[in-house]
Amino acid sequence: MSLAPVRGCVVLRPYGYGLWERLVAELDARFKATGHENAYFPLLIPESLLVREQQHVEGFAPEVAWVTQGGGEPLAERLAIRPTSEVTIMTMYAKWVQSYRDLPLLINQWANVVRWEKRTRPFLRTLEFLWQEGHTAHASATEAAEEVQRMLGVYADVAENVAAVPVYAGEKSESERFAGALHTFSIEALMPDGRALQAGTSHEFGQNFARAYGIEFSAEDQTLQHAWTTSWGMSWRMLGGMMMVHGDDRGLRIPPKLAPVEVVIVPIHKGESGEVRAAARELQQRLAGAGFRVRLDEREQSPGWKFNEWEMRGVPVRIELGARDLAAGAVTVVRRDRAFKEEGQKTTVPLEDTPLRLRALLDEIQRSLFAQAKAFLESHTIAARDRETFVRLLRERAGMIEIPWCELAACEAAVKEATSATTRNVRRPARGPTCVACGEPAKAQAYFAQSY
């Protein structure tokens, strides 16, 4: 990744884009398995469409970038560069939906969006970013609510079982809700610096957008009804979270399921050692044929230089093959998830057994990284019993601070004023009679934290 010549934008070099492709592949397979199809909608949104849903436009107004001139002529109507695509997609759904037989509509879009952020941070908050946004329309409120929870589950699955990042899933507070939604649900991760990261969201709109954009259908009982709609999204922010959760002093540590390169082979030889080179190439072909994402590094740099580079890039496994290894019929396998010179970091594996042993090792590394991150999250999730402790922990950025909470907007605003922290999400029921923050009757269990 490199900074672009435009403020707040980044360039993904091939290895970084490979990470995004892995995330896309894992998400896309799950979307299609749950009946969704991919489509594409325009980047530009006429202002007259954007303003139809008032809460939505008010929520996004500070972040909208506008196109006001085309060529050398001013435009008759401003065009927004999409900050999200609800309005365009809902406009099209109104044309496509006539009958209950046309529902449900289950569509996902892979796209870039622009949000005019004042403060930017690579991967976590940029002016332009890559994401997917799913948009669905349903014949009943129950079906729409089930969709929202299903996709929240998909995000939690990808975060934990692919990115190896443990998360808390729950509902956002009213003040943190997506503009125009009845309910917003999120997955929240905790970074090593004690800040929380919202890693994916799923929104239940009720009939708000359907009324604003005219999505009506003839129901089975012949009545005319508005559809119930949802949207849900995950961006490359998930990659930023993965890097922070798993990175160490030597660079990245990438979970195997998300790694563009699962294993790199570094031949160790002096001069023209053709035998070692030939054995390394044969091993690469065997591993590629067995389905591994494998790279053979035959560049002219020294083995030590290559070791450092691949460790920095976070490749899960490095295979070293030299003349002595070849004579012994073995390879040296180095796992990236273990600390430098830690017991078990390096092992010797019979050359013929490499594909079988490698698959088991990659699975072990995936589990190990998740276990480390899970232990960190659990040890930094703290139940505060009184307001003084609650405020102190939030100011210290101690982690996810859990309390019984009243769900009152004034209480949340007061906590934010005092600590810069907000609710991340809530779960019901409350595990205590009164709100730790203000003393009012508690309605839910809430996680508070400072966030990105």
Confidence label for 143 from pLDDT (cuts 50, 70 and 90): very high
Q: Is the pLDDT of residue 292 over 80?
A: yes
**Cα distance between residue 323 and residue 327, in whole Å:** 6
Which is higher by pLDDT, 180 or 265? 265
Same domain, 74 and 192: yes
The helix, strand and coil proportions of the chain, stated in percent and rounded to the nearest 5, come to: 40, 30, 30
Examine the fold and report which residue of 221, 246, 271 is the final residue of a domain before the chain moves on: 246
> Last residue of some domain: 304, 333, 361?
361
Is 128 found in the same domain as 73?
Answer: yes
DSSP result, 21-55 = HHHHHHHHHHHHHTT-EE----SEEEHHHHTTSHH
pLDDT at 272: 62
* Residue 159 shares a structural domain with residue 24: yes
Examine the domain organization and report whether 309 and 339 are in the same domain: yes
Q: What is the pLDDT, as a whole number, of residue 271?
A: 65
User: Tens of pLDDT along 208-223?
Assistant: 999 999 999 999 999 9
Q: Flag whether 152 is in a domain.
A: yes
Contact (Cβ atoms closer than 8 angstroms) between residue 239 and residue 20:
yes
Same domain, 227 and 347: no
Q: pLDDT per residue over 15-63, tens digit each?
A: 999 999 999 999 999 999 999 999 999 999 999 988 887 776 677 788 8
Q: What percent of the chain has pLDDT over 90?
A: 89
Which CATH number goes with the domain that contains 318? 3.40.50.800
Determine the Cα–Cα distance for residues 6 and 24; give it in Å rounded to an integer.
25
- Is position 255 within any domain? no
Nearest to residue 169, comparing CAs of 145, 151, 181? 151
pLDDT of residue 339: 87
**Claim to verify: residue 323 and residue 386 sit in the same structural domain:** no
Domain count, the chain: 3
Same domain, 80 and 119: yes
CATH code: domain of residue 236 = 3.30.930.10
Largest separation between any pair of C-alpha atoms in the chain = 82
Report if residue 289 sits inside a domain.
yes
Q: Is 85 exposed, middle or buried (0-12, 13-18, 19+ CB in 10 A)?
A: buried
What is the pLDDT confidence band of residue 132, given thresholds at 50, 70 and 90?
A: very high
Residue 171 and residue 296 in one domain: no
Final residue belonging to a domain, choices 246, 276, 297: 246
**Structure confidence at residue 270 (pLDDT):** 76
Q: Looking at 319-451, list the stretches that DSSP marks H as alpha helix, in order from N- to C-terminal side.
A: 323-328, 354-379, 387-395, 409-419
Q: Is the pTM of this model over 0.85?
A: yes
pLDDT tens track for 94-116: 999 999 999 999 999 999 999 99
State whether 70 and 176 are in the same domain. yes
The reply to whether 371 falls in a domain is: no
- Are residues 285 and 356 both part of a single domain? yes
Query: Within 10 A of 225 (CB to CB), how many other CB atoms are there?
Result: 16
Residue 108: helix, strand or coil by DSSP?
A: strand
The answer to whether residues 95 and 32 belong to one domain is yes
Domain assignment of residue 189, given as a range = 2-246
- Do the domain assignments include residue 254? no
Tokens of 127: 């002016």
| SS3 assignment, position 203 | strand
* Average pLDDT score, the chain: 95
Residue 148 inside a domain? The answer is yes
Burial of 286 (0-12, 13-18, 19+ CB in 10 A): middle
Give domain status of residue 257, yes or no. Answer: no
| Alpha helix stretches (DSSP H) within 125-177 | 141-161
pLDDT for residue 302: 94
Torsion 425-430-432-434 (CA) sign: positive
pLDDT bucket at 343, cuts 50 / 70 / 90: confident
Whether residue 336 sits in one domain with residue 394: no
- Identify whether 430 is part of a domain: yes
| CATH number where 409 lies | 3.30.110.30
